[in-house]
Structure 1
Amino acid sequence: MAQTHPLPPVTTVTRGGGGGGDCPPGDEENIQQKMSLIWLQVGQCGNQIGQEWWQILSSNVAEADRFPYFSRDGLINAICVDSEPKVIRKLRQQVKNGYFRDNNIIVGRRGRGKNWAYGYHGNSTGAEKNLLERTMEAFRKEVERRDCYSGTVILHSLCGGTGAGLGSRLCEEIRDTYPAGYILSVTGAPHDTGDSPLQHYNSLLCLAWMQRFCDGVLLFQNDEVMKRVASLVEKKTFTASGLQPSVSLSSMNAHIASCLAGLLCPVYSLKTKSSVSIGLEPWELIRSLCPMSTMKFLHTSHVSRRGAPSWDKVTSSVVQSVPRADPHGRLHHSLSVLAVARNSQDYSFLLSRDSVLMKLRQAYRCVSWNPSPVYCWTDPLNIVDPSCHSLTVCANHSSAADLMSGVLCKARTMYNAGAYLHWYRRYGCEDDHFQMSFEILNSLVDEYRGLGVP
């Protein structure tokens, strides 16, 4: 299993409190360049979420904080990969204030049939140059542009052929080629009612590969995201009795991007004394929330409020969306929790900090054997909307086992019946891949189910 890796000793940054580490005058640019990270967007879902993410970053992040996300030449630190060009073409049109490096746009000529095996193993006919080779070559060049490669954030889905299959293969290749770097996955799980008849196999295999090769996984379930966005729409607009408010795919992706902005945009707590961001947010998130390398699947909740609301009320709104128990009535627990508060220059959160963290510790049912289960970051500005207070909470939460248990049950039923297996075998996916994935997920479910056991 992949282990977490220490960052290179470039600077000293304190976790969670005000202020940061020491940074000699004039060394800010060197530190920024050394701590640069690479963003990797794979498949339709990954690039659509990436589109919303880069619109936020390119429009709102201050110039001094751009280097962990942009190169010195001003180009975006992202590699965009898809087996078809349509989504990436739209991405480049929509992100107005940022530019992608031409060599970092990797597209194929046809899709991967929503088939993990086809995405993972690629096109064996040789009709087009292998997407994996082209992506890894672009990745190598991005690594060489910076003094020190610190890690990758990969955006993808669990059920698409490109996002799940190629995304899994890229995580494996990056881990093998650059073992010292972190890998943080941002992944979308399909609707429970079904996006594709192959989604249960794809999710099974992709989850197993994320467990093997990633250091942390921000897991967004489509049904939960849709429910959350619908509740926000319902508060803003009048809906006829008995009718569900309309929720677009774009609004769901925008919500996920807002969660990412709450967690991964620069925070004052992790800046140097010169107020320079060195891009530690993704890696401190992993180190705070994934102290055990076998449990790395993270649940995220995000609330934004205009004006000057009570932080206790904001916290109550956040914890409403936290799953309380599994389908069998067993209470969920958390290994660790991170709260990121961004407010409108008034520092009011500091007055409520202790009560907010206590409420989070209780609502997320933090395990008693973790002596420091709750971390807190703060920043005096919400870059998504400066007029709002926002609270983003990320937890290593046992509700991840509910998704995995459902995937295991449905995939096992299909596998025992031999359904669709020929579609995987024709692209080189053998029974060993499935058996290993079943074992990995079964073990992971048992570990998460055991979180609350004394």
Structure 2
Amino acid sequence: METVTRDCLTGEGQPRHGACWERTQEMSLIWLQVGQCGNQIGHEWWQILHNNASEEGRYNYFSRDNSINAICVDSEPKVIRKIRKQVKKSCFRDSNLIVGRRGRGNNWAFGYSGSCTNTEKSLLDLTMESFRKEVERRDCYSGTVLLHSLCGGTGSGLGAHLCEEIRDTYPAGHILSMTVAPHENGETPLQHYNSLLCLAWLQRYCDGVLLFQNDDVLRRAADLTEKKMPMVSGVQPAVSLRDMNTYIASCLVGLLYPVHSLATRSSVSIGLEPWEIIRTLCPMSTMKFLQTAQVNRRGTAFWDRVTSSLTQTIPRVSPEGHMHHSLSVLAAVRSSQDNSFLIKQDSVLNKLKQAYRCVPWNPRPMNCWIDTENILDPSCHSHSLTVCANHSSAADLISRVRQRAQAMYSARAYLHWYRRYGCEDEDFESAFCTLDGVVEEYRHLGQQ
């Protein structure tokens, strides 16, 4: 039997007033954190915003009563209880912290379907009830940012079901997914099935997917940790899970926090950056998986070096030998030395265009957003470059997941664990077909 409880996080805040707030509230979004991974990354995101965000920058993510525009849901209480203890002054609504007492066994089907009993409200029903109330608080609901993983049962299964339910209930709103793929060497025996099914659902119901791979995040977090803590006696500093979550949250802030170049004279964001990302990078519904990289520096801004440091890690060729290409690329620049970037802007964008191999048939493949302060490091002269690209290397991950899931499926391995919760062969076959179509589109990206 599934027993669902609600956990709460209290805090004090003052309501906001004024014309700027009213205009921004009309385009308000909802932040939805699902599972352990989604809630941990969300926690790092809110910490950055709480510590560093300006009054104007907070508008998009806080309601009129100063409550955070977020719903946190997990099938186990430990992560959300930890968030309650660590976040001091921010305010979550009681009804928006939803937890269960039983995990989902790293099983997509269990996370998607929930408990087999009808004696308690499911996590899905409770989440959608809180979601409806959040929508009704807004003058105009514009969309959802979903944080979750591909691996765990809650993040992959419940996350997929929430995408489907939100799309069916609120079809006019955008859905931007931020999802984390497991390590290639393996985290659980079911990760390939979970990733297969979740990726297929994201392709069907989301408008854009910010895809982070744990192996890539680990390498980038290790580089940052090594720079902060040089090796001692040839031993590299350990990279913690929090270091990885902080890096992902930093990339999200680099992309989603309001920028000066998209603001009105009254400093109000006119585009709500999550939806501008979708419009900029996902013009074709068949290709919506986005790769993100970021470089932060202090001191004098040497933009050529920053750009070279970032482009060195771009995948060039697929395992099959196909050259990678980009449909579109966005560079988000945050610097207190904004004039220095404007001098180098053409050079930087040309380097990025060449490194990401933008397709020649897109007349405007490169886009650039600029902000005059760096929220990621506001205490000193600092600058950051966050690049998000609709890059065909996403097909490498999707193809690998599909092949490994196919090998397990052909051997009929673990299928009884999924059938137990209503997942049938048709669901797997449909997922294989969906991802085959995505891989095919990306493989032919540079040939169009």
| TM-score between the two structures when normalised by the length of structure 2 | 0.94
| 1:243-273 CA distance string (max 9 Å, x none) | 4431110000000000001000010011112
Which residue of structure 1 lines up, in the alignment, with residue 439 of structure 2? 445
Q: 1:283 aligns with which of 253, 275, 281?
A: 275
Give the whole-Å Cα distance in 2 for the aligned partners of 1:240 and 1:326. Answer: 36
Aligned pair count reads: 429
Unaligned 5+ runs, structure 2: 1-17
Structure 1: runs of 5+ lacking an equivalent: 1-25
Aligned partner letter, 2:296: S
Letter in structure 2 aligned against 1:344: S
Give me the whole-angstrom Cα distance separating, in 2, the residues matched to 1:266 and 1:260.
11
The answer to whether the Cα contact below 8 Å between 2:36 and 2:74 also exists between their aligned partners in 1 is yes
In structure 2, the residue matched to 1:9 is: none
CA–CA separation in structure 2 for the residues paired with 1:34 and 1:267: 19
Partner Cα distance (1:180, 1:382) in 2: 33
* Contact 1:171 1:183 survives alignment (8 Å): yes
Moved more, 306-315 or 202-211: 306-315
Q: Which amino acid aligns with 2:323?
A: L
Separation in 2, partners of 1:33, 1:346: 29
CA displacement 1:180-230 (0-9 Å, x = unmatched)? 000000000000011100000000000000000000000000000001111
Bigger shift: residues 429-438 or 310-319: 310-319
1:216 aligns with 2:208: yes
Deviation at 1:59, TM superposition (A): 1.4
RMSD value over aligned CA atoms?
1.2
Counterparts in 2 of 1:287-366, with a 5 A limit?
A: 287-366=279-358
1:288–1:336 contact (8 Å) kept in structure 2: yes
Whole-Å separation in 1 of the counterparts to 2:299 and 2:433: 50
**CA distance 1:370–1:259, change in 2 (3 Å):** same
Determine if the alignment matches structure 1 residue 378 to structure 2 residue 370: yes
| 1:321-346 superposed Cα distances (whole Å, 9 cap, x missing partner) | 21111112221110000000000144
Residues 54-96 of structure 1: CA deviation (Å, up to 9, x unaligned): 0011111111221210001011000000000100111122223
1:401 paired to 2:395? yes
Secondary structure of residue in 1 paired with 2:447: coil
Q: Which residue of 1 aligns with 2:10?
A: none
Alignment partner, residue 12 of structure 2: none
Which amino acid counterpart does residue 157 of structure 2 have in structure 1? G
Distance 1:403 1:346 in 2: 36
> Cα offset for 1:27?
3.6
1: distance between equivalents of 2:262 and 2:53? 15
For the Cα contact (< 8 Å) 1:68–1:279, is it kept in 2? Answer: no
| 1:416 corresponding residue in structure 2 | 410
**Higher RCO, 1 vs 2 (CA within 8 Å, ≥6 residues apart):** 1
Match for residue 8 of structure 1? none
More divergent stretch after superposition (150-159 vs 265-274): 265-274
In the TM superposition, what is the alpha-carbon distance from 1:320 to its structure 2 partner?
1.4
> How big is the shift at 1:240?
5.0
CA distance in 1, matches of 2:66, 2:19: 19
Aligned to 1:389: 383
Deviations 1:159-189 (A, max 9, x none): 1100000000000000000000000000000
Amino acid at match of 1:216: G
CA contact (8 A) 2:144 2:176 kept: yes
SS in 1 for 2:369: strand
Taking a change above 3 Å as real, the CA distance of residues 97 and 314 of structure 1, as seen in their structure-2 partners, is farther
Whether the 8 Å CA contact 1:31–1:278 is kept in 2: the answer is no
Q: Which moved more, 1:231-240 or 1:165-174?
A: 231-240
In structure 1, what is the Cα distance between the partners aligned to 2:54 and 2:149? 30
Q: Which runs of 4+ in 1 moved over 6 A?
A: none
Correspondences of 1:118-197 after superposition (within 5 Å) = 118-126=110-118, 128-197=120-189
Q: Identify which range, 60-69 or 78-87, moves more after superposition.
A: 60-69
| 1:43 is the counterpart of 2:35 | yes
| Counterpart-to-counterpart distance in 2, 1:103 and 1:215 | 27
Q: CA deviation at 1:277?
A: 2.8
Identity %: 69
Equivalent-residue separation in structure 2 for 1:389 and 1:144 (angstroms): 39
Q: Give the C-alpha shift of residue 30 in structure 1.
A: 2.2
1 CA distance for matches of 2:227 and 2:141? 44
1:452 CA drift (Å): 1.3
Query: Do structure 1's residue 232 and structure 2's residue 224 form an aligned pair?
Result: yes
Deviates further, 195-204 or 323-332: 323-332
What is the CA–CA distance in structure 2 between the aligned matches of 1:55 and 1:279, rounded to whole Å? 24
- 1:118-152 deviation digits (Å, cap 9, x = unpaired): 00011012354200000000000000001000000
Query: What secondary structure does 2:332 align onto?
Result: strand
Structure-1 separation of matches of 2:415 and 2:264:
53
1:58 aligned residue (43, 50, 60): 50
Name the SS of the counterpart of 2:376 in structure 1: coil
